Amino acid sequence: MMKNRKSNWALLAPMYVFTILFVALPILYMFLLSFLTRAEVWGVDFTFTLDNYKRIGEPLYLNTFVESLKLAFLSTLLVMLIGYPYGYFMARMSAVWKKRMLLLIMIPFWTSALIRLYGWIIVFRTNGVLDKLLMGLHITEEPLKLLYTYPAVVVGMVYSLLPFMILSVYSSAEKLDFTLAEAARDLGASSFKAFWTVSFKLTLPGLLSGVILSFIPSMGLFFIADILGGNKIVLVGSVIQEQLTKGRNQPFAAALSAVLMVLTTLMIRIYRKVTGTSELEGLV
Amino acid sequence: MKTKKWCFVYVGVITAITYIPILVTVVYSFNESKISSVWEGFSLKWYAELFQDRDLREALINSLILAVLSCFFAVIIGTSGALGMYKKKSRLNDAVGYISMLPIMIPEIILGMVFLSVFSLMGLPFGMVTLVIAHTTFCVPYVYSMVKARLVGMDKSLEEAALDLGASGVRVFFDVTLPLIAPAIWSGVMLAFAMSFDDVVISIFVTGPRVNTLPVKIYTKLKTGVTPEINALATLMLAITILLLIGAHLIGKKKNK
Amino acid sequence: MSDIILQLNQIQKSFEGTEVLKGIDLEIERAEFITLLGSSGCGKTTTLRIIAGLETPDSGSVLLEGQDITSLAPNKRNVNTVFQNYALFPHMSVEENVGYGLKIRKVPKAEIARKVSEMLKLVQLEEYGKRRPDQLSGGQRQRIAIARAVVNEPKVLLLDEPLGALDLKLRRQMQLELKRLQKQLGITFIYITHDQEEAINMSDRIAVMNQGVLEQVGTPNEIYYRPRTSYVADFVGNANIIHDGSDTFAIRSENVLINGEIPCVHDAVVLEKSFAGGQLRILFRLSDGQTITASRYGIDADIQVGGSIRIGWKQEHAIKVLDDEK
């Protein structure tokens, strides 16, 4: 028994050391940092202050939070509306088609996210593929100038986050016993009612985990807004990056990150409360 | 139950849309013109330019080294951690397991911010070392959670059977446990590799002036202006991805037979 | 003098405060087929795991051929187990599975191959060596699990409900096969089941367990005809338990006599009648409120539900037992 316990600690040691040293302590340091003062030239002064948090309350920064949340909610909603039926239908396909579809989803997932966004630049650019197509079909008369607009950013977000939603819904719907919906129909439910009361209810954990998996990264994907939105749309992510690089204000960046982190962990907490599960479906 | 036609149509249309930017990139990689909206005829000149781009090649090699190293550490930490926690359940283990998952449960930007400040506090020179540490933190959760899920689903009596047949603890691990969790480790590594190889947000913060990763390099190129080379690079990466996926698919098929 | 191969002395074991084994004493003879019989949760699997070394008892000792093996690791014991769900290694072929124990003991390759093919022939699966466990049927997997354990020539073979997952017909066939195998190999079998028919069919001796205690150990005949406790009488023989003053008696249903047959001295009311498997079963209520079941062949049309009747039993069929309820 003693020997067993020792070998178990040997197994756990790398995980413990690594997690404490490079995850737990750095995150704690971030919270500490958010109460410190920026040094005159470079680095941090260890003087306690609440100014960083007060500054987040300023309209300029509060606005970026609101903007980011709005964009994140809008993207997540669209991802949900497009991704849920996709994942659900996929789960009802034959085994061969399921495999094919998974492969088709994985291919873009495996190519660089940036490069896929670059494809959208070509599409959206003034006189780009989309403009040419629309003007060729005489739907529009002049270029739409879609690039560097809000809709372009939304498309980019939805596009990047869609696979997460599809895979979570799919893994949840795949486990669903479709005869349950048939049983509901047999008991007199309309096909919509059968779907809503049985299938949808049972795939809700997948949908919610898809929401979490889309919402969390969407708060931080500043490069999408950067590339497709030009400098017009400023998100929390961009502000944090700016404060760290150009502003050299680590404490303020830390405060922004701390608020962002609290917001997202709260979301996960709510998810766990609602679904009663601890694992995110489709993630594992 | 029969899948209705319009389900297929819906899935087909959405899939087609997701492939638009990819196809556009591939087509324009063979475009003679520098302006990507004009087609001036077939050409391989951007491929030629790509192969001569030293910076990009260096960035590619860096990214590969980074992904391989991060996955290597993630496999050791994640697998042994999952094994240890599965053998002995405790609140402390649960807590550490939860914290180890944090890097993929918070927006990447936070992780980038955290590492930038911590590494500058520690005085670590920014470069490959800082990159590997940062990437390992978000690679561990993929391996750890996959292996953990596999262990929970594993029939405990298999290990007992090996023990019963005379195998020592070490042999039980190498003869039974490891072969059974290997697919989980493998799929964890595939995900972790993809995430590491593709990461911009965290890398931007922890990379040094001398070391560029491929995504960081692409990002700066995209921000500075039109670069048709990127089309060629995208096409090549896509081709390699497809080949690898098909290869994995075929190997899987053969194994099943 | 009998030849004791395995001895359990005062084995006690608790899990999280619940006492699962309350002092088990058992001596098992060489080349014997002994069955631990009991309902789920009675402690029979824990007993088996303690013999295998997969659990350590809180107190008490296990002796194998006189040597104390209580704290010996499972891989150091010359005892093998056939697991309930077979536990065949899914990533190894049938041959590799069967040869695993020999490989661990560094037996030369040629000899492993010879022994494995011999063993596969013995369980009549010589053509299946290259297959993987998931390509076999339940019955075939079962035999491979037995072959994998037996090939190591263990002193004692432990079988944990090995036929539980099979359908009735296959189970019957495997019962016979297992018995044949045991006789042929001359290995001590310790068999676990909750099925009293299976126990009676196969065993040289049966040990009936209930709530961590051995109720009775004996030959199938002894267990069936001379149950020591009311639990054994009920569990093995489906006997009626009748209290008479401070005494408790077990009377099997086929020994309950009805109307006219002598000696019928008890007034009874017919509560229920059912016909199954060629047998009529009648439930009576005696005048003192106790219920009793009688069984007989054929349909007895005279007996009406609700009707009064006289029943009785012969003196020698009322077996005095210890009452477990008390």
Helical spans, DSSP H, in C1-108: 44-52, 94-104
pLDDT tens-place string over residues C118-138: 999 988 898 999 999 999 998
Asked if the C-beta of C319 comes within 8 angstroms of chain B's C-beta atoms, the answer is no
In the three-class reduction of DSSP (H, G, I as helix; E, B as strand; rest coil), residue C291 is classed as strand
| Amino acid letter, residue B129 | V
Q: How far is B106 from chain A (nearest CA, A)?
A: 6
What does the alpha-carbon distance between residue B115 and residue C76 come to, in Å, rounded to a whole number? 50
- Which tokens in the block code for residue B249? 């698919």
Set of chain B residues whose Cβ sits within 8 Å of the Cβ of A94: 3
Please name the member of C54, C85, C104 whose beta carbon is closest to the beta carbon of B167: C104
Question: What number is the average pLDDT over the span B5-32?
Answer: 88
Q: With CA atoms as reference, report the closest residue to B119 among A250, C215, C265.
A: A250
CA dihedral (C224, C229, C230, C236) in degrees, to 10, reads: -30
* Alpha-helix residue ranges (DSSP H) falling in B88-173: 91-101, 108-122, 128-153, 156-164, 169-172
Give the length of chain B: 257
- The answer to whether the Cβ–Cβ distance between C75 and B163 falls below 8 Å is yes
DSSP B4: P
**B194-222 as b/e: b if 16+ CB within 10 A:** bbbbbbbbbbbbbbeeebbbbbbbbbebb
Contact assignment for C75 to B160 by CB distance below 8 Å: no
Which residues of chain B neighbour C48 with C-beta distances below 8 Å? Answer: none
pLDDT at C153 over 70: yes
Q: Hunting for tokens 């400098």 — which residue is that?
A: A231
Q: Per residue in B154-165, pLDDT tens?
A: 888 999 999 999
Distances (CA, A) of C162 to A249, C87, C165, C313: 69, 11, 8, 39
Tokens 């700066």 -> residue: B220
Walk across the sheet containing C247-251 and list its strands: C240-244, C247-251, C319-321
Q: Rounded CA gap, C169 and C174, in Å?
A: 9
Residue-wise pLDDT for B155-207, tens only, equals 889 999 999 999 998 999 999 999 999 999 998 998 899 889 989 889 999 98
Residues B230 and A115 sit within 8 Å (Cβ to Cβ): yes
Q: How far is CA B48 from the centre of its chain?
A: 28
Residues in chain A: 284
Predicted TM-score of the model (pTM)? 0.83
Domain spans of chain B, in order of start:
53-256
| Nearest Cβ partner for C87 among B158, B168, B175 | B158
Instruction: Tell me the angle at which helices A200-218 and A59-91 cross, rounded to the nearest 10 degrees.
Output: 140
Q: What is residue A183's predicted lDDT score, i.e. its pLDDT?
A: 82
Q: Which two tokens stand for residue C77?
A: 């014991």
- Report d(CA B201, CA B216) in Å as an integer: 8
Residue A210 DSSP SS3: helix
Work out whether strand C213-218 and strand C205-210 pair parallel, antiparallel, or are unpaired.
antiparallel
Closest CA to A88 of A168, A190, A192: A168
- Lowest mean per-residue pLDDT among B37-46, C84-93, C248-257: B37-46
Tell me the C-alpha to C-alpha distance, in Å, between residue C200 and each of B108, C33, C183, C220, C276. 67, 11, 16, 5, 22
DSSP code string of A82-104: HHHHHHHHHHTS-HHHHHHHHHH
Residue (of A100, A86, A107, A101) closest to A206 by Cα position: A86
Q: Would you state the pLDDT for residue C218? A: 94
The radius of gyration computed from the CA coordinates of chain A, to the nearest angstrom, equals: 23
Question: CB of C208 within 8 A of CB of C228?
Answer: no
Chains that touch A (3 or more CB pairs under 8 A): B
Residues of chain C with CATH 2.40.50.100: 230-321
Signed CA dihedral, B185, B186, B190, B191: sign only: negative
ω into residue B179 within 30 of 0, thus cis? no
Residue C15, pLDDT > 70, answer: yes
Do B8 and A101 lie within an 8 Å CB cutoff? no
- Tokens 């001379």 locate to C226
Please count the CA atoms within 13 angstroms of the CA of B118 that sit on its side-chain side: 23
Kindly list the residues from chain C whose CB atom is less than 8 angstroms away from the CB atom of residue B175.
89, 100
Rounded CA separation C156/C80 (Å): 7
| CATH number 1.10.3720.10 is the correct assignment for the domain at A59-275 | yes
More confident position, B40 or C229: C229
On whether the CB atoms of residues C174 and C195 are closer than 8 A, the answer is no
**Residue ranges per domain, chain A?**
59-275
Do A208 and A279 form a contact (C-beta atoms < 8 A)? no
3-state secondary structure of A16: helix
Give B120's contacts in chain A (Cβ within 8 Å): 43, 250
Are A123 and B198 inside 8 Å of each other by CB?
Answer: no
B160: closest CA of chain C, how far (Å): 7
The domain over range C4-225 is classified in CATH as 3.40.50.1000 = no
Does the domain at B53-256 match CATH 1.10.3720.10? Answer given as yes
CA-to-CA dists, residue C102 to B165, C93, C149, C188, angstroms: 8, 15, 10, 20
User: Using an 8 Å Cβ cutoff, are C174 and C3 in contact?
Assistant: no
Q: Could you give the C-alpha distances from B135 to A198, A257, B131, C30, C223, in angstroms and in order? A: 41, 19, 6, 62, 68
Instruction: Give C165-174 pLDDT, tens digit per residue.
Output: 788 888 888 8
Over the Cα atoms of chain C, what is R_g? 24
Contact B25, A119 (CB under 8 A): yes
SS3 call for C250: strand
Each residue's pLDDT, cut to its tens digit, for chain A (284 residues) gives 334 556 788 889 999 999 999 999 999 999 999 999 888 776 788 888 888 899 988 998 888 888 888 999 899 999 999 999 999 999 888 888 888 888 888 887 777 788 888 888 888 887 777 777 777 777 777 777 778 888 889 999 999 999 889 988 998 888 888 788 778 877 877 878 888 888 888 888 888 888 888 888 888 788 888 888 877 778 888 888 888 888 888 899 999 999 999 988 887 788 777 766 655 554 43
Q: How high is the pLDDT of residue B141?
A: 94
- C-alpha dihedral sign at B120, B124, B125, B131: negative
Q: Which of B21, B96, B114 sits opposite A26 (nearest CB)?
A: B114
Q: Is B225 helix (H, G, I), strand (E, B) or coil?
A: coil
The CATH label, of 1.10.20.10, 3.40.190.10, 2.40.50.100, 2.60.40.420, for the domain at C230-321 is 2.40.50.100
State the alpha helices, DSSP H only, in chain A: 2-19, 25-33, 51-56, 59-91, 95-110, 113-124, 129-136, 150-174, 179-186, 191-194, 200-218, 222-229, 236-245, 250-275
Asked if B175 lies within 8 A of C85 by C-beta distance, the reply is: no
Q: Measure CB to CB from residue B106 to each of A127, A253, A264 and give the nearest one.
A: A264
DSSP-assigned letter for residue B125: P
- Decide if pLDDT at B32 tops 90: no
Beta-carbon contacts of C236 under 8 Å, excluding residues fewer than 6 positions away, are: C37, C196, C199, C200, C206, C208, C223, C224, C227
- The pLDDT value given to residue A3: 44
Q: Identify the chains in contact with B, defined as 3+ C-beta pairs within 8 A.
A: A, C
Tokens linked to C178: 């297992």
